[in-house]
Structure 1
Amino acid sequence: MAPDHSSGRTLIWIIACILFICVLVGGGCLLEYVVLPESEVPSWMPILGFTLVSLPWAFWLLTFLYQIFSRCCGCRIGFDVEREGSKGVGGGGAVAHGDAGVEANVNGIDRNLSVASHESQMPLAKSMAS
């Protein structure tokens, strides 16, 4: 049985929407700071705008550092997502994976997350078969 990746895709969309909203709100704060007279704009407005606009860059930097350190240390963190075949057993916890040769079999599902996996670097398909 193939694993269900729809929850991972949903999480990616939620994070992307949150980061997009941060950029829009931060841009609005900076635009308000530039357009309105200085006496009408609170002193924290440009700081909030700059912080919100730079939040996606900070998220990208942390993701980049995680990729580097996880490959150097040989440790990745995967999330134990409840799947159809598990009948409600387990789910929800984070599982740390150490050496690439170690395999964990949790609830009858093989969870070998290899450090050498390049699945996240594969190009997106134009049409996905359901």
Structure 2
Amino acid sequence: MPATPDRSYERTLIWIIAAVLFACVLVGGGCLIEFLILPESKVPSWILVLGFFLLSLPWVFWLLTFLYQIFSRCCGRRIGFDVEKKGDGGSGGGATATGDDDGADVKPNANGIGRNLSVASHESQMPLAKSMAS
């Protein structure tokens, strides 16, 4: 029976990234508000630059994520992080083992590269069929 991989690390990583980006927005906004409210003589000159930098970090993150999606679809590969690695009896092998080795779970994608659907399902990223769109 194939073991299902634990996906809690992905959810934890998403929450950490969201918290960091949210903190950047709060601190950056605070820097800009401080620059606007306080007199010019009491505000350091770098506070405006820091505010704009921190407020732009979520946009840079979004842009890099967007470019990653485009390039990964063009190249036909995605970078994945497997937590559970099983080898052949402790020899340090690296392939993730789920199911039999006969390739029953492996289906080729549009580029002809096989992928294991039980491990890397990207159903939510597939476009809807025309019959479902209406």
Q: What TM-score, normalized to structure 1?
A: 0.68
What CA distance in whole angstroms lies between the structure 2 residues aligned with 1:32 and 1:49? 9
Structure 2 counterpart of 1:24? 26
CA RMSD of superposed structures (Å): 3.1
User: Which structure would you say has the larger RCO, counting Cα contacts within 8 Å and 6 or more residues apart?
Assistant: 2
Who is 2:43 aligned against?
A: 41
Secondary structure at 2:29's aligned position in 1? helix
Question: Which residue type is aligned with residue 70 of structure 1?
Answer: S
Q: Which has the larger radius of gyration?
A: 2
Partner of 1:126: none
Q: Which residues of structure 1 form unaligned runs of 5+?
A: 92-98, 105-109, 123-130
Report the count of equivalent residues: 106
Deviation at 1:119, TM superposition (A): 3.2
The residue number in structure 2 matching 1:125 is none
Higher strand share: 1
Deviations 1:32-82 (A, max 9, x none): 000001111111101100110111111001000000011011121001213
Confirm or deny that 1:119 pairs with 2:119: no
1:95 is matched with: none
Q: Which residue, out of 86, 101, 113, partners 1:101? A: 113
Q: 1:13 to 1:120 in 2, by over 3 A?
A: farther
Kept in 1: contact 2:28–2:55 (CA 8 A): yes
- Relative to the length of structure 2, the TM-score reads 0.66
Deviation at 1:103, TM superposition (A): 4.6
Distance 1:113 1:52 in 2: 34
Identity %: 62
Deviation at 1:118, TM superposition (A): 3.8
Aligned mate of 2:6, from 4, 7, 11? 4
Asked if the contact 1:30–1:49 (Cα under 8 Å) also holds between the matched residues in 2, the reply is yes
Contact 2:5 2:84 in 1 (8 A): no
The residue aligned with 2:102 is none
